[in-house]
Chain A
Amino acid sequence: MDIFKTNRRDFLKNTGHLIIGFNLFPFSSCSTTENEVSYNTYDGIPERAHINRDLIDSWIRLDAEGHLTVLTGKQELGQGIRTTLMQIAAEELDIEMEKCHIINGDTGQTANEGYTAGSNSVEGSGKAIREAAAEARDFLLNIIASNWNTEKSHLTVKNGVITGPNGQESSYWELLDGTYYEAKISGNAPIKSPKDHSLIGQAIPREDIKKLVKGEAHFVHDLRLPGMVHARVIHPPAYGAKLKNVDLQTVHEMPGVLKTIRDGSFLAVIATREFQAINAWQQLKESAEWELTEIKVLPKNLFEDLKQNAQAAQVIEDSPGIIQKINQSSKKHKATYLRPYHMHGSTGPSCAVAQWESGQLTVWSPTQGVYPLQATLSDLFDIEKENIRCIGMPGSGCYGHNGADDVSAEAALIAKHYPDAPVRLQWMREDEHMWEPYGSAMRIELQAGIDSQGLITTWDTHIWSDTHSTRPNGNAGHYISARHLENSFEFKKGGFSGGSYRNATPLYNISSKRLQLYNYDGPLRTSALRGLGAYGNIFALESFMDELANLADEDPIEFRKNNLDDPRAIAVLDKLAKETDYHNRIQQSNTGYGIAFAKYKNSAAYFAVLAEVEVHHEKKEFHLRRLTGVIDAGQCINPDGLINQTEGGMIQSASWTLLEEVRYDERGILSKDWNSYPILRTKQTPEVKVHVINRPEEKPLGAGEAAQGPVAAAIINALSSLLGKRVYKLPLREYFEV
């Protein structure tokens, strides 16, 4: 262990480019017109490049002024991760939340934690932060124990103040006294027992919501740097279109226009004011002539094409002779389920700010992964990663791989033509709707057999799907605009990931199971959307479970329980039945009930849900009245955060399920705005209620995507019971559209 007493700030302002003296927004100073806005906040710890994951202060830093700063490579996406991670650190150290701060992904400061995805931030970053905090506490207690000549076990800590057996007191900060300690995480420091927790398990409010209600700067969209200019990209009218002609001259004469950029089919404009950039964008859009390529596979034959033109089966799980076994079962069933393309559809179009100075690039980005962004920009510009700094900032909720990475790359491409000035690029609504990568359409065929006891014995799954991950993990060809450049980058799809069959294997006890995946290269751009394939797979699997329950002549909850071993799975179903008084519900001919269950990824949170759908018989109008969910995410760090995220997932999934489908024809995407791609609004929103099963002794489980699949199936199950026939194709617009 090294201990040096030095001027901390001098020490920390060391190494070269990475520490370039930008203070992170919202501590940044504002341009002239915003001088009235003053940020009266703690100005943060000095910046230092991340060195190594084993160091305590790679994750948490205590400074001499009485603050705790947590560093995480994970991004705030609206899921409340900032509060959750601060709670974890504050708990281990016994520090008040008010003294806590957090820095999210920044290649100049934080650890490389890949992408903030797959609901694993608490399991991953949370664990590292917890261990670092426990180690720091242990480290400081060791020092004070020896200073006071006592045992660690005789010390107590409250609000950052250590008290000794004779009433001696020292705060962490007095103890540190500006000394810089560098210590490693040994992994041996005692972690607090859950029974001693006072912050974990509490519904600590998110302080950032206070800023939001006051309209304070928060998003990357709100970043204003001195000398900043505004840009817009003129995307092609359709995939693969080539720019033939465009009138740049007229645009150059427009007020405020600083520069136009044309590189192959990549077309952009920079102006002084945002509205000037938009006017120029409009003008360029009108004058540009494109050579179009037609989309071959159209919606009317998409689901047939999925089956006919996919690759050969990839056997994920096999059970020889399964078809024979199914045929020999006492009862058997077969069905096909279809889900369309869905969009992320962020409320705020993607936005980023980029700046080139002396060959070095800084990008302020709402990306889910600053290090993968850095690696991919390094590929795009063919420069060393060390010359690129990516600073993660909150964006509009993204729910997976949306336009955030593309806009960051485009801002950097544009800024390269206008060095020194920070260039802010925001997409227009149609850019977001037409160019984001969608959640893939899927076709799922299921077959199963049950025995005379109502137990499932065999289960056969076939999935046809395009990829659920084209994140630009180091390959510039994954940026849409990199493909449009004169020297274009090739998009190599490859790497069909396990995302397509996520949750396709039933958690139920089934002795013979087969799972086959057929990768498909579809007509639309696709990538990770909340839950990936789990949404489609659980929609199919849990719809099918209701059909099997019906075949076995059993209640859907009891049927599921009979086929489950996992006590936590059974517990969420039992709690759901109890909270909704399910077994005593009054059967009304105008209300349909549907339930569904899943353990996300078969390894994360357990979630069960009841959907209640009402019908106006004369009007043949359906209405989703209520969704009640039960979630077990193991140790619950912040119950309100968990509930908020789960409610959000439920409403979003209801929206996908009831209304959504990306429309397109041979000339391109037709879903260009909120009228051509309607989503759920407040009038149609169901009542939602979430119950939490907290298990403080268990490890925290990822929960952000747990609701997506089950909600779809529960709604279908409720609707089908009202219709007296099954529905196999999403969305359910014909029933629910108002």
Chain B
Amino acid sequence: MALILKINGVEKVLDINPQEPLLYVLREEFGLNGSKFGCGLQQCGTCFVLADGEAMPTCLQPCQNFQEMDIITIEGLADGDKLHPLQESFFNEQAAQCGYCLNGMLIAGLALLKKNAKPNEDEIRIALDKVICRCGTHSRFIRAVKKASETHSKF
């Protein structure tokens, strides 16, 4: 069964198992690396993408459920060499240690900022709470989202 997925504005017709979770399709069919396998249980957020503006885990949901949705991954944010303001802010705050969780943190932060460009700290903490970070970079992620919200009003 052919399946159509639109990732970062690019549509692809795919001949794959429609039950395959989106994560593996992103990595194997689209050659993307941003979304990562962390738990496969919707507990950690490393596999997040922005699906119609919401941060959604992709490690369990079959890819067919994402048809018709507008999917943005972390790779789709920069405009050529120009980083997206939230990417810029993550870099400026040097918000990463190993960086395995960074995708989840950035996507969760972006989903928040798209709805609420001026969140308070509690709102940021709640938004990022879905993402596991074992390196303890939490405070930098919170700050990176906050700094981006201070310098930009639209995401």
- Alpha-carbon separation in the docked complex, A34 to B98 (Å): 24
* Identity of the chain B residue whose Cβ is nearest the Cβ of A674 in the assembled complex: B43
- Pair A680/B138 contact, Cβ less than 8 Å: yes
**A273, CB-defined interface residue at 8 Å:** yes
Decide yes or no whether A648 CB sits under 8 A from chain B: yes
- B44 lies within 8 A of chain A by Cβ: yes
Determine the chain B residues whose CB is within 8 A of the CB of A206 once the complex forms.
94, 96
Interface 9-mer from A63-71, A681-689, A721-729: A681-689
| Contact of A140 with B by CB under 8 A | no
Scan B51-88; emit 1 where CB is below 8 A from any A CB, else 0: 00000000000000000000001110110000100010
Q: With a CB–CB cut-off of 8 A, which chain B residues contact A213?
A: 74, 83, 87, 90-91, 96, 102, 106
Q: Is the CB of A347 within 8 A of B132?
A: yes
* Interface residue from A429, A652, A655 paired with B41 (Cβ < 8 Å): A429
Residue-wise, chain A 384-427 has the 8 Å CB interface mask toward B (1 for contact) of 00000000001111010000000000000000000000000010
Q: How far is the CA of A358 from the CA of B114 in the complex (A)?
A: 54
User: Is the Cβ of B137 less than 8 Å from the Cβ of A648?
Assistant: yes
Q: Given the interface contacts A210-B91, A688-B139, does A79 sit within 8 Å of B134 by beta carbon? A: no
Q: What's the A-B contact tally at a CB cutoff of 8 Å?
A: 181
A273–B125 CA distance with the chains assembled, in angstroms = 36
B21, B128, B132, B140, most chain A CB atoms within 10 A? B132
Contact-size category for B: 35 or more
Instruction: Tell me whether A78 and B44 are in contact in the complex, defined as CB-CB below 8 angstroms, given that A221-B36, A347-B134, A426-B37 are known contacts.
Output: no
B101 interfacial contact with A, CB 8 Å: yes
* Docked CA distance A209–B92 (Å): 9
Measured between beta carbons, the chain B residues less than 8 angstroms from A215 are 32-35, 73-75, 103
Instruction: Tell me, yes or no, whether B27 is within 8 Å of chain A by CB.
Output: yes
B38 x A348 contact (CB < 8 A): yes
Task: Give residues 415-466 of A contacting B (CB, 8 Å).
Answer: 426, 428-429
**Contact B136 A348, beta carbon cutoff 8 Å:** no
Complex Cα distance A66/B139, Å? 38
Asked, given contacts A78-B98, A221-B36, A652-B136, whether A348 binds B46 with beta carbons under 8 Å apart, the answer is yes
Q: Which residues of B contact A655 (CB under 8 A)?
A: 136
> Given that A275-B21, A685-B142 are known contacts, is A394 also in contact with B32, CB under 8 Å in the complex?
no
CA A209 to CA B87, docked complex, whole Å:
10
Across-interface contacts of B90 in A (CB, < 8 A): 209, 213
Interface string of A213-252 (1 = CB under 8 A from B): 1111111011010000000000000000000000000000
Min C-beta distance of A696 to chain B, whole Å:
22
With A215-B74, A397-B100, A683-B125 as known contacts, state yes or no: A647 contacts B140, CB within 8 Å.
yes
* With A36-B31, A255-B17, A349-B38: A685-B139 Cβ-Cβ less than 8 Å: yes
Chain B residues lying within 8 Å of A644, measured Cβ to Cβ, are 94, 97, 137, 140
Establish whether residues A651 and B33, one from each chain, have CB atoms under 8 Å apart when the complex forms.
no
Bitwise, B6-49 to A at CB < 8 A (1) or not (0) is 00000000000100110010011111111111111101101000
Say yes or no: is A640 at the interface (Cβ < 8 Å to chain B). Answer: yes
Number of A residues contacting the other chain (C-beta, 8 Å)?
67
Instruction: Give chain A's interface secondary structure class.
Output: loop
- Contact partner of B98 (CB less than 8 A), chosen from A217, A347, A649, is A347
Tell yes or no: B113 within 8 A of A by CB: no
Which of A79, A213, A345 has the most C-beta atoms of chain B within 10 angstroms of its own C-beta? Answer: A213
Chain B: minimal CB distance from A648 (Å): 4
Is A673 interfacial (CB 8 A cutoff)? yes
- A-B contacts, 29 of them at CB < 8 A, read A30-B31, A35-B31, A78-B98, A78-B99, A208-B99, A209-B96, A213-B91, A214-B83, A215-B74, A221-B36, A221-B37, A273-B20, A344-B134, A345-B134, A346-B134, A347-B44, A429-B43, A644-B94, A647-B136, A648-B137, A650-B136, A673-B43, A680-B138, A681-B132, A682-B128, A682-B129, A682-B141, A683-B129, A685-B139
Expressed in whole angstroms, the Cα–Cα distance for A30 and B31 within the complex equals 9
* Chain B residues positioned under 8 Å from A79 (CB to CB): 97
Query: Closest approach, in angstroms, between the C-beta of B7 and any C-beta of chain A?
Result: 12
CB distance from B25 to the nearest CB of A (A): 8
A498 within 8 A of B: no
Once bound together, how far apart are the Cα atoms of A640 and B93, in whole Å?
10
B79 to chain A, nearest CB (A): 11
Contact of B99 among A212, A224, A679 (CB under 8 A): A212
Contact of A347 among B17, B21, B38 (CB under 8 A): B38
Cβ of A647 and Cβ of B139 under 8 Å apart?
yes
Cβ of B135 under 8 Å from chain A: yes
A429 and B57 CA atoms in complex are apart in Å by 15
Q: Which residues of A sit under 8 angstroms from B44, Cβ to Cβ?
A: 347, 674
B95 at the interface (CB under 8 A from A): yes
Instruction: Closest A residue to B92 by CB, please name it.
Output: A205
Nearest 9 Cβ contacts at the A-B interface: A215-B34, A34-B31, A78-B98, A651-B136, A397-B98, A648-B136, A78-B97, A215-B74, A396-B100
Chain A residues whose C-beta falls within 8 Å of the C-beta of B43 in the assembled complex: 429, 673-675
B2 interface residue (CB < 8 Å to A): no
**Nearest-Cβ distance from residue B46 to partner chain A, whole angstroms:** 6
Report B's interface with A, CB cutoff 8 A.
17, 20-21, 24, 27-41, 43-44, 46, 73-75, 77-78, 83, 87, 90-92, 94-103, 106, 124-126, 128-142
The verdict on A37 contacting chain B, using a C-beta distance below 8 Å, is yes
A278 to B41, CA, bound (A): 13
Q: Is A162 an interface residue (CB 8 A)?
A: no
Distance A222 CA – B34 CA, assembled complex (angstroms): 9
With an 8 A cutoff between CB atoms, is A613 at the interface? Answer: no
- One digit per residue, 1 when the CB lies within 8 angstroms of any chain B CB and 0 when it does not, for chain A 123-146 equals 000000000000000000000000
- Give the distance in Å from the alpha carbon of A623 to the alpha carbon of B47 in the complex: 30
CA distance A347 to B133 in the complex (A): 6
Give CA–CA (A37, B17) in the complex, Å.
24
- Does B78 contact A214, Cβ atoms closer than 8 Å? yes
Residue of A nearest to B106 (CB): A213
Contacts of B38 on A, CB cut-off 8 Å?
Answer: 347-349, 429
Q: Is A77 an interface residue (CB 8 A)?
A: yes
Q: Is the CB of A396 within 8 A of B134?
A: yes
Interface centre among A209, A274, A346, A675, by most B CB within 10 Å?
A209
Evaluate contact between A685 and B125: CB separation under 8 angstroms: yes
- Among B24, B74, B95, B139, which residue has its beta carbon within 8 angstroms of that of A275? B24
User: Are A429 and B103 interface neighbours, CB within 8 A?
Assistant: no
Interface residues of A in 345-371 (CB under 8 A from B): 345-349
A645 at the interface (CB under 8 A from B): yes
Smallest Cβ distance from A731 to chain B, in angstroms?
A: 16
Q: Which residues of B contact A301 (CB under 8 A)?
A: none
Neighbour of A648 across the interface among B40, B91, B132, B135, CB < 8 A: B135
Knowing that A213-B74, A647-B139 touch, tell me 6 more A-B residue pairs with CB under 8 angstroms: A36-B31, A205-B91, A215-B34, A674-B41, A674-B43, A685-B139
Query: Is A7 interfacial (CB 8 A cutoff)?
Result: no
A587 at the interface (CB under 8 A from B): no
A36-B76 Cα distance, complex, nearest whole Å? 13
Residues of B within 8 A of A603 (CB): none
Contact in complex: B134, A679 (CB < 8 Å): yes
Q: Mark A262-280, 1 if CB is under 8 A from B, else 0.
A: 0000000000011100100
Whether A399 touches B134, Cβ cut-off 8 Å, given contacts A274-B24, A347-B46, A426-B37, is yes
Expressed in whole angstroms, the Cα–Cα distance for A688 and B135 within the complex equals 14
- CB neighbours of A77 from chain B (8 A): 98
Give the complex CA separation of A35 and B43 in angstroms. Answer: 32
